[in-house]
Amino acid sequence: MKSEYKMTTLQDTQRLAEQLAKKLQGGDVIGLIGNLGAGKTTFVQFLAHTLGIKQTVNSPTFNIIKVYAIKNHKSKIKNLIHIDAYRLHSAAELQALGVEEYFVDPHVVTVIEWADRVKKILPKDAMMIKIKLKKNGERIFSATSTALSQPRAFFPLPQSSHGTCLQ
C-alpha cells in the first residue's frame, strides 16, 4: 500500500517526521530513497530529534553506520541506527557489516539512506520512503510498506501541516 504527500515547507517535512517517529515501536526499518539534495538526511535529523537524540545527526557517508543512543526512559527504543549506503556497491557489503542484527532488534530503529542500493537485504516489512525534489522546491514523499494493512495510519499527514495528501 502507498501513501503520498506533497511537502511545501521544511516545517511540513519536520511535522511528517515527527508523526512517523511517534509511531515507531522498535524493530522498525525505514529505507529512504531520493537523489542528492532530496532531503533524506534532513528527514532523519527531524526523526532523531523527535526520538530525543540531542547530538548532531549528519549523514554517515564515510562511516556508513552511525549509532545514536536514545535516552528516553519511556520508550523501549534504545538506539537509532543511521546507515548511508551511497558509497556501497552491493547489499553484500552492508550485510558483511552485520547490520541484519539491527533489523531484528526490538530496541532499535534503523534508517537507511540510499536504501535502493541495498534492497536485497532489507526486511520484507521495511517501510520505504521515496523523496522526490521538484523544480519548484516542493518534495513528494511516497511511503510504501507491505507489513502494514494501513500504512497511512503509520505514516499519517500531520493535522496541522500545510502539506497535501495526494491520495
Burial, 69: exposed, middle or buried (Cβ in 10 Å; 0-12, 13-18, 19+)?
exposed
In CATH terms, the fold of domain 2-165 is: Rossmann fold (3.40.50)
Residue for grid cell 538506539: 79
For residue range 84-119, what is the model confidence (pLDDT) as tens digits? 999 999 999 999 999 999 999 999 999 999 999 999
For residue range 48-93, what is the model confidence (pLDDT) as tens digits? 999 999 999 998 888 999 999 998 767 889 999 999 999 999 999 9
For the chain, the domains span 2-165
| Share of residues in the chain with pLDDT > 90 (%) | 65
138, 8 contact by CB (below 8 A) = yes
